[in-house]
């Protein structure tokens, strides 16, 4: 099970309670920074903005691909390890709204991990050091270190060599 905090709601669906996660000015700021960074081709500039303007933990030499989308409510819940690579248009969420509850959880991406293009990572997930997530995958549970995972939902496909990162 993912490491998420659950918040039951009654009456309206949980999206009507979004202000409990962050106020409108904070969400607007986060959205603006994330949207600008989606198009910035300079990795150091992106990492600076993620660290200092959004409060994310971004390791040295991490690479975030173009169009990557981070949670606009809780970007400070995201941790990206050193030398990690996030592919084009991947999405990392730290919240999810359901009809009768919303959930919040941290996302941790380990050192040297690879997230393929168009992958989606849900709240409360830990992706281990050196792990690889295939393009287009939906990660709804932890991915162990040095494994190749893929699919919808993502499942471990094979274990990787710790030295070379190959099968």
Residues involved in catalysis: 95
Check if the beta carbon of residue 107 is closer than 8 Å to that of residue 94: yes
Taking the CA atoms of residue 16, residue 153, residue 80 and residue 106 in that order, the dihedral angle to the nearest 10 degrees is 40
Cα distance between residue 140 and residue 126, in whole Å? 10
Helix, strand, coil percentages (3-state) for the chain, rounded to 5, are: 20, 30, 50
State the burial class of residue 19 (Cβ atoms within 10 Å of its Cβ: 0-12, 13-18, 19+).
exposed
Contacts of 22 (CB under 8 A, 6+ apart): 30, 73, 74
Helix (H, G, I), strand (E, B) or coil at 120: strand
First to last CA, the chain: 27
């Amino acid at each position: 099970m993912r490491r998420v905090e659950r918040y039951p709601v009654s009456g309206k669906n949980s999206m009507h309670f979004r202000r409990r996660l962050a106020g409108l000015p904070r969400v607007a700021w986060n959205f603006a920074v994330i949207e600008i960074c989606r198009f910035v081709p300079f990795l150091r500039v992106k990492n600076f903005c993620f660290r200092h303007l959004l409060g994310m933990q971004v390791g040295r030499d991490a690479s975030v691909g173009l169009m990557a989308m981070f949670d606009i409510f809780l970007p400070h819940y995201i941790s990206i390890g050193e030398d990690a690579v996030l592919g084009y248009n991947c999405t990392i969420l730290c919240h999810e709204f359901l009809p009768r509850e919303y959930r919040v959880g941290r996302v941790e991406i380990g050192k040297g991990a690879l997230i393929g293009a168009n992958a989606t990572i849900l709240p409360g997930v830990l992706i281990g050091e050196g792990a690889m997530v295939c393009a287009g995958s939906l990660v709804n549970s932890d991915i162990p270190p040095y494994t190749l995972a893929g699919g919808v939902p993502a499942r471990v496909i094979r274990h990787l060599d710790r030295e070379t990162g190959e099968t």
